[in-house]
Amino acid sequence: MPNPVTWLVTLVLGGLFFFILLPKYQGEQQAVKSGVEIQAAVQEVRQWSRKTGDGDYIDQYEIIAVAPNPHNGKIQTFVSPPMAQNPKPYLGGSVKVKVDWSNPKAYVMDLSFLPFKVH
């Protein structure tokens, strides 16, 4: 019989997949399929340091952009995926976002203008 720690790790990884990664992927697919492209105003580039497995720290960056929701007038915040390079030198005042306003958490930020790859 497998070690109980193995079962616990399996449950944690399964929960991570089903409750975090899968809904995010499905939201992105929903936005691509039925979303509209908007220009969201760049509010800031957020920076933080993340500790790696070998004890070093690496900088991470996220673009924070905002746009009004046309259905309720509230400001919707859009956050890019984390990136290892600072995107600030390549940003203008706005960034393209494809969003499904029926589910504003379903969006994809267009980062194709950056000269580096974002994972």
What is the number of domains present in the chain? 1
Please give the span between the terminal C-alpha atoms of the chain, in angstroms, as a whole number: 38
Q: The domain containing residue 86 runs over which residues? A: 4-109
pLDDT at residue 22, as a whole number: 46
Residue 116 within any structural domain of the chain:
no
pLDDT at residue 54, as a whole number: 86
Residue 83 within any structural domain of the chain:
yes
Residue 60 within any structural domain of the chain:
yes
**pTM across the whole model:** 0.72
Q: What are phi and psi of 85, to 5 degrees?
A: -115, 150
Residue 33 within any structural domain of the chain:
yes
User: Along the 119 residues of the chain, how does pLDDT read in single tens digits?
Assistant: 667 777 677 766 666 555 554 455 555 666 677 789 999 999 999 999 988 888 888 899 999 999 999 989 999 999 999 999 999 999 999 999 999 898 888 899 999 999 998 87
pLDDT at residue 50, as a whole number: 83
Residue 118 within any structural domain of the chain:
no
Task: Report the distance separating Cα 61 and Cα 83, nearest Å.
Answer: 5
Token readout for 50 is: 């993340």
pLDDT at residue 30, as a whole number: 66
Residue 115 within any structural domain of the chain:
no
Residue 85 within any structural domain of the chain:
yes
Task: Report the distance separating Cα 118 and Cα 111, nearest Å.
Answer: 8
Alpha helix locations (H) across the chain?
4-16, 22-34
Residue 78 within any structural domain of the chain:
yes
